[in-house]
Amino acid sequence: MTHLWVRAEQRPNEERVGLTADGAKALIAAGIRVTVEESSVRALPLQPYIDAGCEIAPENSWPEAPRDAIIFGLKELPEDGTPLPHRHIMFGHAFKGQHSGKALLERFKAGGGTLYDLEYLVDEAGRRVAAFGYWAGYAGAAVTLKCWAAQQRGEICGPVGVYASKDALLADLGAELAATGADKPTAIVIGALGRVGTGASDLLEAMGVSVTRWDMAETASGGPFPEILAHDLFLNCIFARPGTPVFVPREALLAERRLTAVGDVACDPDSDYNPIPVYDRATSWAAPALRVAENPVLDVMAIDNLPSLLPAESSEDYAAQLLPSLLTLDALDAGVWHRAAAEFETHIKAL
């Protein structure tokens, strides 16, 4: 029997989960065994999973799970260097030239396990079957606006935290913008036709911000793109890959510009394909903004788990998208799982 083990997230500020209780009930009805770890932080309560018929395991006990269990989580595992013998479903951040990804792949190679990277679960046409993109863009635009608002106060953006709902986020952000007394900024969103860009644009419009929407057609020239520097805010919402243009080059730090806040929602600062090479590390919930220039200031927001600011809504949305694929877990040698395993094997062989 196929056994899915839903682990607790161990990363700070991570309350999301990729399977709802209703989804677990559907998997069990399809003949899949489901174990859910207890969690002190998960946004969705445990009792509905119990009511759905899930087995319950202690928090963070997945290393002792049966070897045939498929371990399902969202964000990174603890970086303790231990071999990984299980099959894991998660965002590995290891296939796009990320320098930290090699260590993760070495752990899989040492343990004999397999990574089914959630970012590489794709259909026959190469489209991702599930993504947190919309809520990443939505939350990313919100935090970038917070960075801009802090600049109006002569400050740098302070800590951010979880919101109980989208409405709570909008109310808080609206009050912060109004308190600045400044005119609303202008923004440019690149990747505006995708899920991430749509979420970013929706948040900005909800806050009364004028949005310029760009996608592949507008960036096909390869740059430079002076239009980006002519906006107050820039939201990068594209999937970086070989050949991605540079949107904000290092020389932009000294150029005449209106731009004072960049929201790098894609957040690949250690990738060889980083289109915003004015910064080199992710930011955090405790310190959302990295100041990379003064006079005028330029702050970069690059939090890499943005949907966690709205964990309940983003979990429910993502889980609904992913469930049809989870229902095919008994056929790992076909479809999305076969394609994800092939991607993993390509990178393992390249080590």
Query: Which candidate, 139, 149, 147, places its Cα nearest to that of 291?
Result: 147
How far apart CA 11 and CA 74 sit, in angstroms, is 10
DSSP string, 229-265: HTSSEEEE-----TTPPPSS-GGGGTS--S--EEEES
Helix runs in the chain, H state only: 21-29, 47-52, 101-111, 133-152, 166-180, 195-206, 216-219, 226-229, 311-326, 335-349
75 as an active site residue: the answer is yes
Q: Phi then psi for 56, rounded to 5 degrees?
A: -115, 135
Q: Which of 93, 166, 231, 347 is catalytic?
A: 93
Buried b (16+ CB within 10 A) or exposed e, 9-45: bbeebbbbbbbbbebbbbbbeeebbbbbbebebbbbe
- Give the angle 167-157-168 at the CA atoms, nearest 5°: 10
| Residue pair 130/121 in contact by the 8 Å Cβ criterion | yes
How far apart CA 203 and CA 205 sit, in angstroms, is 5
Q: Phi then psi for 77, rounded to 5 degrees?
A: -80, 160
Query: Which candidate, 180, 177, 127, places its Cα nearest to that of 152?
Result: 180
How far apart CA 203 and CA 196 sit, in angstroms, is 11
| Residue pair 247/223 in contact by the 8 Å Cβ criterion | yes
96 as an active site residue: the answer is no
Query: Which candidate, 42, 40, 51, places its Cα nearest to that of 17?
Result: 42
Q: Cis (ω within 30 of 0) for the bond into 296?
A: yes
How far apart CA 279 and CA 351 sit, in angstroms, is 27
Tokens of 166: 């989208």
Annotated active-site positions, please?
Answer: 75, 93
